[in-house]
Amino acid sequence: DLNVVEFEDPDVMFTETEDIILEVVGDSGSCEHVLAAEDIQGIEIEPPDPRRRDRGFVAANGESIPHVGQAHLNIVSGEGAGNIKGTFQIAPVSRPLMSTAKICDNGNAVTVREEKGVVKSKSGAVICTFYRKQNLYVANLVSKRNRSTNTHGACGTSKSQPAIDPA
């Protein structure tokens, strides 16, 4: 895949009023990218994939969390080049989670250090950085509501710079 990210002003990257800013936690214990429906108001939520054998999730405390559906988000990190799969499962969670396993399953590498976690493509390009905040690794990502809803999110840093899918 080759996606092109265009910004009207290269110094102001995310000015569109339709963008959704998500504070996402990188989670090594999560099996899926997950967020609540309230986090993406106005984005189409599809019913759960019937091929999934499980019908819900289990929280860290052992409680059951219902699986509401899924949404395909066009995720932009604002740094580096490459793509992260943007399909999020919808469930009533307290904060958006990005699965370290899913990120790696898409051919990327995640390196976690004391102050930050860095996601790199197969070629070594930085896709996204999660900074440590209150003992969680957090990234501010943007979902482009008005772009086509596909399962890839483009990451770019300048006007018309191509973002190459590493997978």
What are the tens digits of pLDDT across the range 117-147? 999 988 898 989 999 999 999 999 888 765 4
Question: What does the DSSP 8-state code read for residue 103?
Answer: H
Mean local confidence (pLDDT), 15-21 = 65
Note if the pTM is more than 0.85: no
First to last CA, the chain: 8
| Sign of the CA dihedral with 90 first, then 94, 99, and 103 last | positive
Name the band, by pLDDT with cuts 50, 70 and 90, for residue 9. Answer: very low
Predicted confidence at residue 86, as pLDDT, reads 76
pLDDT at 38 over 90: yes
For 68, the token pair is: 């509401």
